[in-house]
A and B are shown apart, each in its own frame.
Chain A
Amino acid sequence: MKLLFKRINRKKIPLYANFIIFVLIYALGAIFYRKFLSLRVFVNLLTDNSFLGITAVGMTLVIISGGIDLSVGSMMVFTTMLIALFTEMLHLPPIVVLPAVVLIGVLFGSLMGGLIHFFNAPPFIVTLSGMFLARGLGFVISLDSIPIKHKFYYNASQFGIQLTEKIRMPIIAIIFIAVVIIGIILSHYTKFGRNTYAIGGNEQSAVLMGLPVGRIKIMIYAFSGMCSALAGIVYVLYTLSGYGLAYMGLELDSVASVVIGGTLLTGGVGYVEGTLVGVLIQGLIYNFITFQGNLNVWWAKIVIGLLLLFFILMQRTFSTRTAAN
């Protein structure tokens, strides 16, 4: 038994705990509610959490590098407002609008990354200001919800892959899965990914090893900005509108998914695939509350806060133990 325990990589314990909790919650749901285990519920789980998941993939890389990005939610909402502005007020075609908003997301992210690198400013302050800036810019466009009536967005939102006769995988879920796969490849199989882990593990060593730390840091925040912009596009396809006050507190949900997914907040250790499961766990908690029927939706926020706390505490115990060894 002791040997077995030694064989398990201690760094991966939060990741395993994450999978176990996911299976447990799913099993509980399946026992309590009849339709919980159906394919339709699972597809909906992917669809309803796609925008959260996409921001969480970017957030995973940022946290692996030892930073944090609090601007993801605001950036996503700002993107929805930009799409609304470009299509409904300026009447630009989607082929111009979509690359433009992604580019704006990348620029916004690199701007924050640049501030963090060149002025050695704490990431949380820079991205917190970015969070307020993006929300504010969204309000400047409009304080009200703007419906997006262009038929391209409606048609795109109806597109999907037929899984069975009645159920199909909507485009939103497909984009989500694609982004997760890109994130896994980026983090595990590219130079960029390895450099990210190196910076998060020990920035000083990374500099001394001659890694281009500044450029990679800016690229990481640019990638996160791009993910937020993609999430914005997905959110537009999901709601067919832009609204400046939408999804307050996405930042916490996103950080929570990453941490529940087994990524260490101190950087250097993390898994995009864990983040996927972290997102789905949160989705299951919301599902539970919907299935239950008469609980206030704010309970979900509190439960997620507690779950996050639990995982952080678990990380603390394991990381101090490894340090002691």
Chain B
Amino acid sequence: MKKKNYSSLLWPLITLAAILVFNLIFTKGFFNIEIKNGHLFGSIIDIIKRAVPVMIIAIGMTMVIATKGIDISVGSIIAISGAIAAIIILNTGLSLFFVIFLSLAVAFLFGAFNGLLISYIGIQPVVATLILMVAGRGVAQLITNGYVLYIDHKAFEYLGIGFFLGIPFSIIITLIVYIITYAVTRTTAIGLLIQAVGGNPRASYYTGINVKSIKFFVYAFSGLCAGISGLIISSDIKGADPSFAGLWVELDAILAVVIGGTPFTGGKYYLFGSIIGSLIIQSLTTTILTRGVPVQYTLVVKAIVVFIVIIFQSAEFRQKVLRGLKRKIQ
């Protein structure tokens, strides 16, 4: 079991190392880390910081994909949670705690709505979350009345651009979310149950696992992660943008999860792999930008990478091509 874990993380780590080595050779000062005013600065820190929203969503998405599901509504939930935070800050004098609590509660509820449709009503995950993907942007538009809202709130800005002990605070939030998720799923039976549900829902049901509630909570958790990510994004841009906040982030998150070694077919997951996957995507994006390639190419590059991953993950491809290659080598 340990050995298998290791080999599945090998490819993502090699990919990440390859991108970093490429930058080490071609980008000057890529690995420089400076300390300015007691804060860490540098390209590496910048990549990690920019990967934060995707990393947090990918943590939730990993759990969803492990149950053989998918959640394409995360981008809209990001827009909704940002919009709610903005509207509360602008219209009421509530403290930061309530701002965060209420926005996350709403995000959790929207995730729970997905979970309800998928587990208790039995709609396919892609259709159920497609409803929220489109209608959710409508909800965000209604909350902000169609405008982009600007927030001027020092404490709220700390979430996205603050530093704690010299490290960007958003990275620390990611670390906390990761550690809690890891602890809850790997030190208790929950991780095993999630894998069982993804591997074979019927067998899990006959073993006495409450398949429905596991699925329900996985989607609610994904919604919560999207909510956290939404707060960090709107704190980073000091505003709430209902139509463009988190647009197409679902592709990045799905990509991060599958690059990290979690298969689409469910049944197993690699939480750390998803973190590596997010870092790969962000360093790829940063590299594309620093190489001077126009920004609009990133979407095409990412989509092509997903296609390649789909092919490499399929059992048919492994059987036909990889086995043939091995035979040739022998």
**Chain B 302-318 residues near chain A, CB threshold 8 A:** 302-304, 306-307, 310-311, 313-317
Number of interface residues of B (CB under 8 A): 45
> Which one of A115, A255, A302 contacts B138 once the chains associate, using CB atoms below 8 Å?
A302
B146 touches A115 (CB 8 A): no
Q: State the CA gap A304–B133 with chains docked (Å).
A: 12
A106 within 8 A of B: no
A255 touches B127 (CB 8 A): yes
Q: State the CA gap A89–B313 with chains docked (Å).
A: 40
Q: State the CA gap A296–B147 with chains docked (Å).
A: 12
Given A125-B264, A265-B124, A302-B135: A139 touches B296 (CB 8 Å cut-off):
yes
Q: What residues on B are CB-neighbors of A316 within 8 Å?
A: 121-123
> Which one of B121, B138, B139 contacts A313 once the chains associate, using CB atoms below 8 Å?
B121
Given A249-B134, A255-B127, A301-B138: A129 touches B306 (CB 8 Å cut-off):
yes
**Chain B 131-151 residues near chain A, CB threshold 8 A:** 131-135, 137-139, 141-142, 145-146
Question: What is the predominant secondary structure among interface residues of chain A facing chain B?
Answer: helix
B310 touches A132 (CB 8 A): no
> Which one of A68, A130, A248 contacts B126 once the chains associate, using CB atoms below 8 Å?
A68
A252 touches B304 (CB 8 A): no
B161 within 8 A of A: no
B100 within 8 A of A: no
A119 touches B304 (CB 8 A): no
Q: What residues on A are CB-neighbors of B302 within 8 Å?
A: 132, 136
User: Residue of A at shortest CB range from B122?
Assistant: A316
Number of interface residues of A (CB under 8 A): 44
**Chain B 148-182 residues near chain A, CB threshold 8 A:** none
CB distance from A325 to the nearest CB of B (A): 18
B109 within 8 A of A: no
A118 within 8 A of B: yes
Q: What residues on B are CB-neighbors of A251 within 8 Å?
A: 130, 134
Given A129-B306, A312-B127: A296 touches B299 (CB 8 Å cut-off):
no
B310 touches A125 (CB 8 A): yes
B254 within 8 A of A: yes
Given A128-B251, A308-B131: A299 touches B307 (CB 8 Å cut-off):
no
B299 touches A139 (CB 8 A): yes
B311 touches A115 (CB 8 A): yes
Q: What residues on B are CB-neighbors of A253 within 8 Å?
A: 134
> Which one of B70, B296, B310 contacts A140 once the chains associate, using CB atoms below 8 Å?
B296
Q: What residues on B are CB-neighbors of A265 within 8 Å?
A: 123-124, 127
Q: Mark B53-80, 1 if CB is under 8 A from A, else 0.
A: 0000000000000000010100000000
A126 within 8 A of B: yes
A129 touches B303 (CB 8 A): yes
Q: State the CA gap A306–B139 with chains docked (Å).
A: 12
User: Residue of B at shortest CB range from A249?
Assistant: B134
> Which one of A259, A298, A304, A312 contacts B146 once the chains associate, using CB atoms below 8 Å?
A298
Given A129-B307, A139-B296, A301-B135: A312 touches B142 (CB 8 Å cut-off):
no
A120 touches B121 (CB 8 A): no
Given A132-B299, A135-B299, A140-B297: A296 touches B142 (CB 8 Å cut-off):
yes
Q: List 14 A-B contacts (CB under 8 A).
A: A68-B127, A120-B315, A129-B306, A132-B302, A133-B303, A137-B300, A249-B137, A298-B137, A298-B142, A302-B138, A304-B135, A308-B131, A309-B131, A316-B122
Which 4 residue pairs of A and B lie closest in terms of their CB atoms, listed nearest first? A136-B299, A305-B135, A133-B303, A119-B314
| Chain A positions near chain B (C-beta within 8 angstroms) | 68, 70, 115, 118-122, 124-126, 128-130, 132-133, 135-137, 139-140, 143, 248-249, 251-253, 255, 259, 265, 296, 298-302, 304-306, 308-309, 312-313, 316
Given contacts A133-B304, A140-B294, A304-B134, 19 further A-B pairs with CB under 8 A are A115-B307, A119-B317, A121-B264, A126-B310, A129-B251, A129-B306, A132-B248, A133-B299, A139-B299, A140-B297, A252-B134, A265-B124, A265-B127, A301-B134, A302-B139, A304-B135, A305-B135, A312-B123, A313-B121
